[in-house]
């Protein structure tokens, strides 16, 4: 068989741009790949996979660089980066959009908005739409329009069965439907290299947004009011709450309502009438302004961070709220926090086995996070996250695969619950030799792990 050549923009450790090219959004747990290939077209992706196979070279697939555990990087191997393939094309007649796998959410939202449309997706603009969609995709329109993956119509991937050359296939409800099922919640990097995704889009114009801030004294009352309100209210309203450290002294609830501000104000009464909010803001804005409002300002600047998370199926009792409070009273730094988003609505309408995303019955998804500036702060910061996770586990279930945590011992069940076995069968079908593997990749059914 003829030897394959790597094509595309190739970066190696001798190049000046190597440092930028190898660095992901997380500075801890760094990796040093031998080659990074920035694919420009599908042929480059095919060549990269064939080349890795022929040269027996470990490889990883990358797009938006936001994997919490740097699973899109590998020491001494090849990184197949699709971020320079990022065209977004909207078909307003059929209300669909074809998005190349390298597009980030910022680009996706902007191009869709220019066409009066959107998809429900995440909040931070530099996150890759592909990594987000393959793991589920939660955001400010989840309760109204479901997860990002619920709006997927088709995925195009480069796959390899380990024999012969890699090929491009489509997965949708009719073709490779088992793979399509797995691509909706099974997580990135497991089955093949996605080159483009086709979504159903929704018309959007003005929306209403809110922000309510309380101080530490209102911790228990504000959180309890939010959890009861946010998970039961009108499904046009999705909201989040950030429980910051005692030092930071802020509890911030925010959300987006697809409807008028007057109605939102009325709906929010259970929150605005709780405790003594120090700030209440409710306004109607063009949708794209809401997108910017929820975008986190950290952008592409890498920092040290540790994140983990879990799902909540029932309203937390007082005892659990006091656990969160006591951890937030004793944080390794001021920026450590707990963040939660309400689910239910359209997310819950789909059954847990209808797509690979399992935790359909959860009312809240939550993230525990710590960010720090110097490497020596790492140990304490990680310990805080892991101890909180373990102490709260009595009241929580699983973890969202898009917030992977390398310290979770039973990670396959934590990410996939009752869908694990079927995912392993799909893996055996499309990647029987486990070419696509990383520390928490789905093992094919015949593999021991
Ligand atoms: C600051 C921040 C904000 C976030 N906000 C949200 C949010 O609002 N909602 C939410 O649901 N999640 C959110 N996340 C989590 C995010 O969805 C995941 O980190 C996601 O995996 C990132 O995808 P990526 O393409 O940016 O990252 P990458 O690191 O490039 O990839 C992530 C995973 O996908 C795989 N992958 C990448 N490209 C491809 C491809 N072309 N084909 C197949 N597999 C591929 C990688 O191998 C890796 O396993 C956030 C994360 C961060 C760091």
Q: Are residues 121 and 262 in the same domain?
A: no
pLDDT in tens, 255-264: 999 999 999 9
Q: What are the tens digits of pLDDT across the range 304-335?
A: 899 999 999 999 999 999 999 999 999 999 99
Domain contains 105: yes
Provide residues with CB under 6 Å of ligand 1.
25, 60-68, 71-72, 82, 101, 122-124, 127-128, 130-132, 134-139, 188-189, 193-194, 296, 402
**Span of 24-38, 86-100, 177-191 with lowest mean pLDDT:** 24-38
Tell how far the Cα of 133 is from the centroid of ligand 1, in angstroms: 8
The neighbour count for residue 185, using CB atoms within 10 Å, is 29
- pLDDT for residue 407: 96
Give CA–CA dist 91/76, Å, rounded: 42
In the numeric block, which tokens belong to residue 243?
Answer: 């429980």
- Mutate which of 21, 123, 127, 357 for ligand 1? The one with the most ligand atoms within 8 Å of its CB, which is 127
Q: How far is the CA of 215 from the centre of ligand 1 (A)?
A: 32
- pLDDT bin (cut points 50, 70, 90) of residue 298 is low
Residue 219: strand, helix, or coil: helix
Same domain as 37, residue 158: no
Rounded CA-CA distance 124/273 in Å is 30
Domain that holds residue 150: 88-203+418-430
Residue 336 lies in a domain: yes
Grade residue 1 by pLDDT with cuts at 50, 70 and 90.
Answer: low
The CA–CA distances, whole Å, from 179 to 163, 182, 425 equal 19, 5, 10
Ligand 1 mean position to 274 CA, how many Å? Answer: 36
Confidence bin at 28 (pLDDT 50/70/90): confident
Q: What is the number of the ligand 1 atom nearest to the C-alpha of 148? A: 11
Same domain, 225 and 305: yes
The answer to whether residues 279 and 336 belong to one domain is yes
| Structure-block tokens of residue 53 | 């196979």
Give the pLDDT score at 300. Answer: 58
**CA atoms within 13 Å, Cβ hemisphere of 320:** 16
Q: Is the confidence at residue 297, as pLDDT, over 90? A: no
Residues 225 and 317 grouped into a single domain: yes
Q: What is the mean pLDDT of the chain?
A: 96
Nearest CA to ligand 1 atom 8: 122
Confidence band, pLDDT 50/70/90 cuts, at residue 403: very high
What is the CATH classification number for the domain harbouring 319?
3.40.462.20
Backbone φ and ψ for 89, nearest 5 degrees, come out as -120, 125
CATH number, domain at 128? 3.30.465.10
Same domain (yes/no): 239, 377 = yes
Check residue 163 and give its pLDDT.
86
- Average pLDDT of 50-76? 97
| Average confidence (pLDDT) over 283-296 | 96
* 403 domain-assigned: no
Q: Which atom of ligand 1 is nearest to the CA of 122?
A: 8
**Distance (Å, whole) CA 203 – CA 89:** 15
pLDDT at position 372 over 80: yes
Q: Considering its fold, how many domains does the chain have in total? A: 3
Does 449 have pLDDT greater than 80? no
The two structure tokens encoding residue 413 = 């069940």
User: What's the confidence (pLDDT) of residue 26?
Assistant: 87
Structure-derived torsion over alpha carbons of residues 411, 64, 381, 222, reported in degrees to the nearest 10: -90
Is residue 147 a contact partner of residue 341, using CB atoms and an 8 Å limit? Answer: no
Are residues 275 and 198 both part of a single domain?
Answer: no
Confidence (pLDDT) at 164:
87
Query: How far, in Å, is the centroid of ligand 1 from the Cα of 441?
Result: 14
Q: Which of 26-40, 133-147, 179-193, 352-366 is the least confident region? A: 26-40
442 occurs within a structural domain: no
Ligand 1 midpoint to CA 127 (Å): 6
Per-residue model confidence (pLDDT) at position 29: 85
Residue nearest to atom 26 of ligand 1 (CA): 64
Ligand 1 centroid to Cα of residue 122, in Å, is 10
Structural domain includes residue 2 = no
Residue 199 contacts residue 149 (beta carbons within 8 Å):
no
Which tens digits make up the pLDDT trace of 407-439?
999 999 999 999 999 999 999 999 999 999 999
């Amino acid at each position: 068989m003829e030897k394959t050549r790597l094509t595309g923009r190739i970066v190696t450790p001798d190049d000046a741009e190597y440092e930028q090219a190898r660095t992901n959004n997380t500075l801890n747990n760094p990796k040093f790949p031998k080659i990074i290939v920035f694919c420009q077209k599908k042929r480059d992706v095919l060549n990269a996979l064939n080349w890795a196979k022929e040269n027996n070279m470990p490889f990883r697939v990358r797009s938006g660089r936001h994997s919490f555990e740097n699973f899109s990087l590998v020491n001494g191997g090849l990184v197949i980066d699709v971020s320079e393939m990022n065209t977004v094309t909207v078909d307003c007649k059929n209300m669909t959009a074809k998005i190349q796998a390298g597009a980030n959410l910022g680009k996706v939202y902007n191009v869709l908005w220019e066409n009066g449309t959107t998809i429900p997706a995440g909040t931070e603009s530099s996150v890759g739409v592909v990594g987000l969609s393959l793991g589920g995709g939660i955001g400010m329109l989840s309760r109204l329009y479901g997860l990002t993956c619920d709006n997927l119509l088709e995925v195009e991937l480069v796959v390899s069965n380990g024999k012969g050359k890699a090929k491009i296939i489509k997965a949708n409800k009719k073709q490779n439907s088992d793979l399509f099922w797995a691509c909706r919640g099974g997580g990135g990097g497991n089955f093949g290299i996605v080159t483009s995704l086709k979504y159903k889009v929704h018309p959007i114009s003005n929306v209403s947004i809110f922000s309510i801030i309380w101080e530490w004294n209102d911790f228990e009352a504000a959180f309890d009011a939010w959890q009861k309100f946010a998970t039961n209210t009108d499904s046009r309203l999705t909201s989040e709450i950030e429980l910051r450290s005692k030092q930071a002294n802020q509890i911030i609830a925010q959300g987006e309502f697809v409807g008028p501000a007057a109605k939102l104000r009325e709906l929010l009464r259970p929150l605005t009438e709780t405790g003594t909010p120090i700030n209440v803001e409710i306004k109607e804005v063009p949708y794209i302004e809401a997108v910017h409002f929820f975008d986190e300002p950290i952008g592409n600047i890498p920092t040290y961070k540790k994140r983990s998370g879990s799902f909540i199926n029932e309203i937390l009792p007082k005892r659990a709220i006091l656990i969160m409070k006591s951890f937030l009273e004793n944080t390794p730094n001021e920026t450590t926090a707990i963040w939660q988003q309400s689910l239910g609505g359209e997310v819950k309408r789909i059954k847990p086995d209808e797509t690979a995303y399992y935790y359909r019955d959860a009312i809240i998804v939550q993230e525990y996070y710590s960010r720090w500036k110097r490497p020596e702060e790492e140990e304490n910061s990680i310990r805080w996250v892991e101890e909180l996770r373990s102490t709260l586990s009595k009241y929580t279930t699983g973890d969202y695969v898009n917030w992977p945590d390398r310290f979770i011992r039973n990670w396959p069940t934590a990410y996939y619950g009752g869908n694990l076995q079927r995912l392993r069968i799909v893996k055996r079908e499309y990647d029987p030799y486990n070419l696509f593997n990383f520390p928490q990749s789905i093992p094919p059914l015949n593999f021991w792990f």
